[in-house]
Structure 1
Amino acid sequence: MTVLTPQQRAASLAAMQSENFDVLVIGGGVTGAGIALDAAARGLRTAVVEGQDWASGTSSRSSRLVHGGLRYLYNLDFKLVAEALKERGRLLTLIAPHLVEAQPFLWPLKSPVIERAYSAVGVGLYDALAVVGAGFKKTVPVQKHLSKKGAMRHFPDIKPSALSGAIEFYDARVDDARLVITLIRTATKYGAEAASRVRVTDILKDDRGHAAGVEAVDLETGEQLTIKAKRIINATGVWTEETQDMAGGTGGLKVLASKGIHIVIPRERIRAQSGMFLRTEKSVLFIIPWQHYWVIGTTDTAWHEQLRHPVPTSADIDYVLAHANEVLERPLTRDDIIGTYAGLRPLLQPKVLDESKSTKVSREHTVTEVIPGMVAIAGGKLTTYRVMAEDAVDFALGESDAKSRRSVTFDLPLLGADGLEAVRNQAGRLGAKYGFDMERMKHLLSRYGSELPDLLATIDDDPSLGEPLAAAPQFLRAEVHRACTVEGAMHLEDIFIARVRLNSEARDRGGAAVDEVAEIAAAALGWDADKTEAEKANYRARIAAELAAEEQVTDEAASAERMKAEDIV
């Protein structure tokens, strides 16, 4: 079994200091993780480092959607939408069918004739592009036109005055952080070396001025590291310019940070079978159903504060509530909110910093040379991470080498995808053996796919792991154990934020579960009593800071409150 553990991390760091890699990836979000997998699967000796936890930036703070971008059709961006829909189809059917699930949405219509006509054309084109991209196979159902009465049957909690009818269309949803962690694990399966909480401090150059590696620091130990590589790929999102600046030179990308926030509502609070898609004056608003909750967002506002811990303000939350309540019959209040989170989109500016440098612009993302031997990629979105990764590795290799070492990820399943249907077919029998109902089995299959038997084996070894968490019974104790022994969690916050995601899915951000989760983590990671208490105190301080931040009106005040809680390392 391919695992991310402290032992694996130590072995990877040792390899990083003793070898000269073909490719070094800086950044462990979805783009960097995808690049690491693409490069490793081509047979390139690959290393990937991340300054925080895997997916800790934008890639754990998204709308959790895999979608073509219906709104882009309004801008006639047909190629962009077609590319994204093609990738959506691959994720749904082959690459990650356990993590990516088809999801119906309603597009409410105000005008019964004109709006329905042009919307039907737009959604029809969306469906057609998806079918063409999937080789003329349907990966999700096509649009369905609903009368007002039919729409209200699908979404009973919509205001009757908010629509005259609706179009039902499909996109897909994904646990964004789990996708990233699975990409990193799959990359290590194919030989990549991977280490989180390694901060790059300088770019090394050879006597020709070409990038030759990095200086870095292991944040867990303070140890200084030298990692040599023939090619460096900068995939650090909103930190792109900060990473580029270490290399000097004139090349690279210009990126601005835009904040998008989401609120989380209990599943039973909104009566509906479908999600909803709404256009606002500033962005789009999705009301997205999950098994135990709804995610509602997003916003699109410039962010000028620190980049590590963006937070929603009171004003942001009011904005999302107001727009959701425009269509909801039973208005949401702050008392309904069980979670909030904010992420920063790396908005790619139109021009690269040095027009004389080699550059590849591919619709929404751009790859360019920073200095010889180092490239940067930015833009794009989660749905198209695989295409971005392929473009970045092709560009780093150069035309000749890229042709001789072609990408293979279009047909490469991630861990948990192979054999998924066979394990799904065993769900009833397995559930009966462990006393799990079908709702529990659906939850487990959507997280672990065909690797579910590995998790169940840990329960065979220790039956206490088969018990639900006392304060969060939707999760098993075994899931916390697996976060530490398979999925690379090194700290308590890693578990709550990106694996057992109570930080954004529980009213107290997981506070009531801290003692139990820490007990399981301490046993799995070998913490002593002092270390365990320090981890608990750190996460509780984070909770307090996040809750205080969302009471503030401005970004500046919210950021200041959030930064009162110190990072664990």
Structure 2
Amino acid sequence: MLLCRAESLALLREQEFDVLVIGGGITGAGVAFDAAARGLRVALVEGRDFVGGTSRWSTKLVHGGIRYLPQFDIGLVREALIERGRLLANAPLLVEPLPFLLPLYRFNRRPLGIGWLPQQSALQPLLIRAGLLTYDLLAGGLNVGRHRSVPSARFAEWAPLVRTQDLLAAYSYYDARTEDARLVFDVLASAVEQGAVVVNHAPVIGFEKAGGGLVAAWIRDELVNEEFAVRARVFVNATGIWGEELERLTGELPQVHIAPSKGVHLVLPSERVGLKDAAIVLPETDDGRLLFLVPYRPYGEVAILGTTDTGSGPLDAPVATDADIDYLLDHANRYLETTLTRADVISAYAGYRPLIRRGLAETTARLSRSHELVEHANGLISILGGKLTTFRAMAEETVDAAERGLGRPIWHVTAQLTLARRRDWKQVVETVTVRAREMGLEAHVPWLLRGYGAAAHTVLDIAAGDYRLARPLVDGLPYLWAEVVHACRYEQACHIDDVLERRTFVLFLDWHHGLRVAEQVSELMAQELGWSAEQRQLEVERYRRRVLQCCGAEHGIATRLDSGSVSLPWRT
């Protein structure tokens, strides 16, 4: 659990810290956790909401990055596979193994981006098999499972709506799936348990210097528009695509150049793609990449299709364009027996990868997903780039640099450190299952365990205290009304989209994008946060604008953007 926001703000004002982490995505959360676990006094501030940037817009995978093997980025793949294994051990249930099917078709010219062979070379199946063997070997003792050749009949059983015509070969291998936002909140909760202070909606607006070094960061509390200074000895820039902007705030020119790459994903009904227990790799796109089609159970009966790799637009408001959506549907339809249309798209989401540009590259697709650590002379440490999967290793490297700057001995603790909500997970499974069954909430157990771990008991406590909160937030989705209260009390939710977009994924999993429950969510949050009637209505309008921004009719997605509400379960 996180400390309440008011208490955390008071601690920020009163204390001086060894390390101030700027950025509340997976990278910043990982740095705060690692630093606090080593005994440092740590604070973290996020200018918007936690996991409000790149970390939320992933393909929901913890993986080695099989597409980087043809680019011979062996070091990145090896690091990611090792970190995948550690996350499976340290975040059980939240990070879970997932089989992948990789088909190879006769019409594929350069599958997985293999561009250094003649097109349609007979060597391609051999190279794919060799690549999968390398993938297994690089994981070493932390491998999830060995790759296999899959007969066409077995392939058709696993993926009944994926075409078998022209199928040359098919293989299976393992990676892992997660719920990206819940992973960030678990890491933040682990940091807080170790003594870190974390606050959202508190951007850094400037710095104080003394003797050429940074001594304090000026923070603005966005909710009350107040500014104050936070003093620290080391400052960590973990702001992702905004990394260059933060470096400029120190009064110096950026030393790392970010090349934002927009990734778009579509959320589709799982019945339209026929996936339940395995993900599919679509092995070739026109721009030399690959796509994933990933079942997103138990978070909803949906699958996620993605991702694109295109140039950037406004960093604060990435959106899926018509061209992005058409691109994904067109490529998926090349591999499916059915034909997907706009009518099948529940929602689309977009985000930017913070790729590092170190030299000339034709496209962002050719840029590496490896990270860059820069130790600035003024005391700022920038950790930028990287992948969701490798956040722990990035954090460890960053805190090593911080300890050197502080003159402390370096020691590593997080490689085998289970996240706070994931300890004793077998006992948690048993006790949560029993409690939920007694409350008539057995259908919600898979989500509660994956999304909250041991904190599922806190959600159930809230539901037990008011039976009207022990009901689905949206029919057909696994979330409970009690989670709205939990988000406000224990995870610093301040706005409706904090709850419906990040603590849950309602905005993108619901055909109505949460609009039918927005009024009711606002009333429940008003009770928790003390909103006036006027503020509550402003929050509802703010959420509606957010939905229109993401899923507006101009993109041909949101055909149900009505504001019709449902009856409040707690009204009598």
Alignment TM-score > 0.5, same fold = yes
* 8 Å contact kept, 1:241–1:255: yes
How far apart, in 2, do the equivalents of 1:400 and 1:213 lie?
16
Partner of 1:243: 246
How far apart, in 2, do the equivalents of 1:452 and 1:215 lie?
36
* 8 Å contact kept, 2:348–2:550: no
Aligned-partner residue type, residue 172 of structure 1? A
How far apart, in 1, do the equivalents of 2:122 and 2:436 lie?
49
How far apart, in 2, do the equivalents of 1:498 and 1:473 lie?
15
Q: Does 2:22 align with 1:13?
A: no
* 8 Å contact kept, 2:432–2:457: no
Secondary structure of the corresponding residue to residue 459 of structure 1: helix
* 8 Å contact kept, 1:98–1:448: no
Q: Does 2:456 align with 1:452?
A: yes
Partner of 1:374: 380
Q: Does 2:367 align with 1:365?
A: no
Correspondence list, 1:135-534, <5 A: 138=143, 140-161=144-165, 163-206=167-210, 208-250=211-253, 252-272=255-275, 273-278=277-282, 279-282=284-287, 283-291=289-297, 292-303=301-312, 305-350=313-358, 364-398=370-404, 401=407, 404-426=409-431, 428-437=433-442, 439-471=443-475, 473-534=477-538
Residue 405 of structure 1 and its aligned partner are, at CA, apart by 3.9
Aligned-partner residue type, residue 296 of structure 2? W
* 8 Å contact kept, 2:80–2:389: yes
How far apart, in 2, do the equivalents of 1:427 and 1:24 lie?
36
Q: Deviations over 1:353-409 (max 9, x none)?
A: xxxxxxxxx98111112332111111111000011111111123327845x142311
Residue 477 of structure 1 and its aligned partner are, at CA, apart by 1.0
Partner of 1:86: 82
How far apart, in 1, do the equivalents of 2:212 and 2:432 lie?
57
Aligned-partner residue type, residue 46 of structure 1? V
How far apart, in 2, do the equivalents of 1:549 and 1:249 lie?
43
Aligned-partner residue type, residue 79 of structure 1? G
Partner of 1:99: 94
Residue 251 of structure 1 and its aligned partner are, at CA, apart by 5.4
How far apart, in 2, do the equivalents of 1:545 and 1:406 lie?
45
Secondary structure of the corresponding residue to residue 460 of structure 1: helix
* 8 Å contact kept, 2:100–2:278: yes
Q: Does 2:53 align with 1:57?
A: yes
How far apart, in 2, do the equivalents of 1:165 and 1:433 lie?
48
Secondary structure of the corresponding residue to residue 75 of structure 1: coil
How far apart, in 1, do the equivalents of 2:393 and 2:281 lie?
26
Structure 2 length-normalised TM: 0.88
How far apart, in 1, do the equivalents of 2:376 and 2:311 lie?
25
How far apart, in 2, do the equivalents of 1:453 and 1:9 lie?
22
Partner of 1:44: 40
Aligned-partner residue type, residue 414 of structure 1? L
Q: Deviations over 1:17-71 (max 9, x none)?
A: 2222110111111111111111111111111111100010101111111000111
Question: Measured at CA, do residues 549 and 36 of structure 1 come closer, stay the same or move farther in structure 2, by a change above 3 Å?
Answer: farther
Residue 311 of structure 1 and its aligned partner are, at CA, apart by 0.5
Residue 177 of structure 1 and its aligned partner are, at CA, apart by 1.2
Q: Deviations over 1:237-269 (max 9, x none)?
A: 110111000112345311111100000001222
Structure 2 stretches lacking a partner, 5+ long: 107-120, 361-367, 558-572
Residue 333 of structure 1 and its aligned partner are, at CA, apart by 0.5
Partner of 2:111: none
Partner of 1:566: none
How far apart, in 2, do the equivalents of 1:73 and 1:399 lie?
36
* 8 Å contact kept, 1:262–1:341: yes
* 8 Å contact kept, 1:66–1:173: yes
* 8 Å contact kept, 1:212–1:230: yes
Secondary structure of the corresponding residue to residue 497 of structure 2: helix
Residue 495 of structure 1 and its aligned partner are, at CA, apart by 0.5
Residue 143 of structure 1 and its aligned partner are, at CA, apart by 1.1
How far apart, in 2, do the equivalents of 1:144 and 1:399 lie?
48
Aligned-partner residue type, residue 391 of structure 1? E
How far apart, in 1, do the equivalents of 2:254 and 2:261 lie?
23
- Residue range with higher mean Cα deviation, 517-526 or 211-220: 517-526
Residue 511 of structure 1 and its aligned partner are, at CA, apart by 0.9
Aligned-partner residue type, residue 177 of structure 1? A
Q: Deviations over 1:426-468 (max 9, x none)?
A: 455334201133x421121111122222221222222222111
- Counting aligned pairs with the same residue, the percent is 39
Secondary structure of the corresponding residue to residue 468 of structure 1: coil
Secondary structure of the corresponding residue to residue 287 of structure 1: strand
Correspondence list, 1:552-567, <5 A: none
* 8 Å contact kept, 2:349–2:550: no
How far apart, in 2, do the equivalents of 1:58 and 1:383 lie?
13
Residue 318 of structure 1 and its aligned partner are, at CA, apart by 0.2
Q: Deviations over 1:475-528 (max 9, x none)?
A: 111122212112221111101110121112122221112123223222222323
How far apart, in 2, do the equivalents of 1:28 and 1:63 lie?
19
* 8 Å contact kept, 2:186–2:420: yes
- Residue range with higher mean Cα deviation, 118-127 or 381-390: 118-127
How far apart, in 2, do the equivalents of 1:145 and 1:473 lie?
35
Residue 181 of structure 1 and its aligned partner are, at CA, apart by 1.7
Residue 415 of structure 1 and its aligned partner are, at CA, apart by 2.4
Aligned-partner residue type, residue 70 of structure 2? Y
Aligned-partner residue type, residue 376 of structure 1? S
Aligned-partner residue type, residue 269 of structure 1? R
* 8 Å contact kept, 1:366–1:378: yes
Structure 1 stretches lacking a partner, 5+ long: 353-361, 554-569
Residue 128 of structure 1 and its aligned partner are, at CA, apart by 1.9
Aligned-partner residue type, residue 6 of structure 2? A
Residue 285 of structure 1 and its aligned partner are, at CA, apart by 0.4
Q: Deviations over 1:174-206 (max 9, x none)?
A: 111111122112211111111111111112111
